Amino acid sequence: MGIEVNGKVLETDEEGYLANLNDWEPAVAEAMAKEDGTELTENHWEVIKFLREYYEEYQIAPAVRVLTKAIGKKLGKDKGNSKYLYELFPYGPGKQACKYAGLPKPTGCV
Partner 1 sequence: MSDTKKFMYINRKAPYGTIYAWESLEVVLIGAAFEQEVAMAFVDDGVYQILKGQDTSELGIKNFSPTYSALGDYDVNKIYVEKESLDARGLTVDDLLDLKYEDEDDDWAEKDSIQVVTSQELAEILEQQDVVFSF
Measured from the CB atom, the residue of 2 and 76 that comes closer to partner 1 is 76
Show contacts with partner 1 in window 81-110 (CB under 8 A): 107-108
User: Is 98 considered catalytic here?
Assistant: no
Contact with partner 1 (CB under 8 A): which of 13, 34, 58, 82?
A: 58
Helix orientation angle between 42-58 and 64-75, rounded to the nearest 10 degrees: 110
Q: Which positions ≥6 away from 100 have C-beta within 8 Å?
A: 28, 29, 32, 33, 40, 44, 48
* C-alpha angle 29-72-60 in degrees, rounded to nearest 5: 50
Contact with partner 1 (CB under 8 A): which of 66, 72, 75, 86?
A: 66
Helix orientation angle between 42-58 and 26-36, rounded to the nearest 10 degrees: 120
List residues bridging with 18 in a β-sheet. Answer: 12
Assess 20 for contact with partner 1 (CB under 8 A): no
Measured from the CB atom, the residue of 5 and 61 that comes closer to partner 1 is 61
Assess 75 for contact with partner 1 (CB under 8 A): no
Measured from the CB atom, the residue of 60 and 75 that comes closer to partner 1 is 60
Q: Which residues are catalytic?
A: 109
Task: List interacting residues with partner 1 (CB under 8 A).
Answer: 57-60, 62-66, 69-70, 107-108
